[in-house]
Amino acid sequence: MSTASDLVLPATDHDATSAAKLNWLRAGLLGANDGIVSVAAVLVGVAGTGVGQGPVIAAGAAALVGGAVSMALGEYVSVSGARDAQRTGQAAQQAELEAESEDAATIAAHYRALGVTDAVAASVAEELVRPEVRRRRAAAALRDAEDEVVSPWRAAWVSAATFTTGAALPFLAMLLAPESVRVVVTVVAVLLALAATGTTGATLGGAPRARATIRVVSGGALALAATYAAGAVLGAHAL
């Protein structure tokens, strides 16, 4: 049940909006990071077999498109489920606000504790307990909560776009670099990009930047080394 303190507008609306934007930025960085590592791993792994440029680029393009679609679908399903649960909770909250039994004396006491004069506190409390005012408060709370519901379509497009943006880097590096150094150029480009995303993510999250960057770069380097080794073994014994 709501308390009198719920009647006071929060002073952290700006902070909540900023936090939401930071969450979107972090999600974007994670999507880009996934695109960089997963597509680069495919490219380097296929290149490790020793095949020509054509099959490598074809595999990279398939990994880019498939990964973007997979990310979008996964995000859409996940956010849709979260949105449905959130709206169910909002409907229950609205019903609770409409049926709340908080009396005028409790509300007035809350405002007096904030320094409001007795007469004004009593007058405000009498207004707030009126049924029509309670209904309007409940409707306003539902509208505010609705603004916080994330669109599944928006989440899907953001996820696909950030994945594609990240994946474009190793794809272009492998496509444009001379064939003799294509793997080296791609690995260097990927590690530099991972260092940038790791540093940016740590800065947004307030974490130690050096540790986060080393962790991200090390993980990416391990993935590239593993896929290249697998491709080299496959190329030597199966192709």
pLDDT of residue 25: 75
Q: In the predicted model, what is the mean pLDDT of residues 39-59?
A: 93
pLDDT above 50 for 4: no
pLDDT of residue 169: 94
Q: In the predicted model, what is the mean pLDDT of residues 59-77?
A: 92
Least confident of 105-119, 174-188, 218-232: 105-119
Percentage of the residues of the chain whose pLDDT score is greater than 70 = 73
The size of the chain, in residues, is 239
Q: Is 107 helix (H, G, I), strand (E, B) or coil?
A: helix
pLDDT above 80 for 30: yes
pLDDT above 90 for 65: yes
The region that residue 50 occupies, defined by phi over 0 for left and psi between -120 and 50 for alpha, beta otherwise, is: left
Phi, psi angle pair for 150, to nearest 5°: -80, 135
Domain range holding 148? 32-237
pLDDT of residue 94: 57
In a domain, 191, yes or no: yes
In a domain, 13, yes or no: no
Number of domains in the chain: 1
Task: Round the average pLDDT of the chain to a whole number and report it.
Answer: 80
pLDDT of residue 12: 47
In a domain, 14, yes or no: no
pLDDT above 80 for 231: yes
For 129-208, where are the alpha helices, taking DSSP H only? 131-147, 152-176, 182-205
In a domain, 217, yes or no: yes
pTM over 0.75: no
In a domain, 183, yes or no: yes
In a domain, 2, yes or no: no
**7 — pLDDT class (breaks 50, 70, 90):** very low
Least confident of 89-98, 147-156, 188-197: 89-98
Torsion of CA 217, 219, 221, 225, to 10 degrees: 180
DSSP letter string over 4-36?
A: GGGGSPPS-HHHHHHHHHHHHHHHHHHHHHHHH
Q: Which of 77, 68, 84 is nearest to 157 (CA)?
A: 68
In a domain, 26, yes or no: no
In a domain, 86, yes or no: yes
Query: From CA 220, how far away is CA 159, in angstroms rounded?
Result: 20
**43 — pLDDT class (breaks 50, 70, 90):** very high
Residue 130 DSSP class: S
Q: In the predicted model, what is the mean pLDDT of residues 178-206?
A: 90
pLDDT above 50 for 1: no
